[in-house]
Amino acid sequence: MNSEPMNSVMHSTSKSFRGLLLAAGKGTRFDPAGTGNKLLAPLPGSDDVVAVAAARAMLQVLPVLAVVSDVDSELGRRLADAGCELVGCDDADTGMSASLMCGIRQAQDAAGWIIALADMPYVQAATHRGLLAALKDGVQIAVPAYLGQRGNPVAFGRSHLDGLLALSGDRGARALLQQFPVNEIPVNDPGIHRDIDTRADLEAR
pTM score of the predicted model: 0.87
pLDDT single digits (tens) 156-201:
999 999 999 888 766 668 889 999 999 999 999 999 999 988 777 7
Peptide bond into 144 cis (omega under 30): no
- Looking at 6-20, 45-59, 97-111, 148-162, which range is the least confident one? 6-20
Please state the separation of Cα 10 from the chain's center in Å. 18
Would the pLDDT of 59 be above 50? Answer: yes
| Amino acid 10: pLDDT | 37
| Amino acid 28: pLDDT | 55
Q: What is the DSSP string of the chain?
A: ---S-TTSPPPP---SEEEEEE-----TTT-TTS---GGGSBPTTSSSBHHHHHHHHHHTTS-EEEEES-TTSHHHHHHHHHT-EEEE-TTGGG-HHHHHHHHHHHTTTSSEEEEEETT-TT--HHHHHHHHHHHHTT-SEEEEEETTEE-S-EEEEGGGHHHHHT--TTSTTHHHHHHS--EEEE-S-GGGG----SHHHHH--
pLDDT confidence band for 12 (50 / 70 / 90): very low
Whole-number percent of the chain with pLDDT over 70: 84
Q: Are the beta carbons of 165 and 104 closer than 8 angstroms?
A: yes
pLDDT confidence band for 90 (50 / 70 / 90): confident
pLDDT confidence band for 8 (50 / 70 / 90): very low
Architecture of the domain made up of 17-203: Alpha-Beta Complex (3.90)
pLDDT single digits (tens) 95-127:
788 899 999 999 999 999 999 999 999 999 999
Residue 1 vs residue 178, higher pLDDT:
178
CA nearest to 153, candidates 197, 107, 114: 114
Q: Are the beta carbons of 186 and 112 closer than 8 angstroms?
A: no
